[in-house]
Amino acid sequence: MIHAVSLQKAGLETATELLSQAVLHPHITDDEISYTQQAIAFELESLHMNPNKEFIMMEMIHAVCCPY
């Protein structure tokens, strides 16, 4: 998961607060988890039916670099 924000210097404090809340105290519902599980299953099924070699290569590179 990646969190990012574009801002002007004046908004740094607000952006830091929002990002910290999203990371430290996320509000994730059961419906959001269910939807995400379905979306991932669909993506994996699509990938198996029509492999995207560039995507697979990037995933393999990430797996080697970040084995967690």
Q: Is residue 45 part of a domain?
A: yes
| Parent domain of 21 | 9-65
User: Would you say the pTM of this structure is higher than 0.85?
Assistant: no
Q: How big is the chain, counted in residues?
A: 68
Confidence tier at 67 by pLDDT (50, 70, 90): low
CA angle 22, 68, 27 (to 5 degrees): 20
Q: How many domains does the chain have?
A: 1
Q: Is residue 2 part of a domain?
A: no
Q: SS3 sequence, 9-40?
A: HHHHHHHHHHHHHHHHCCCCCHHHHHHHHHHH
pLDDT in tens, 8-50: 999 999 999 999 998 899 889 999 999 999 999 998 888 778 7
Q: Torsion angle, CA of 44/38/3/63, rounded to 10 degrees?
A: -30
Q: Is residue 49 part of a domain?
A: yes
Q: Is residue 33 part of a domain?
A: yes
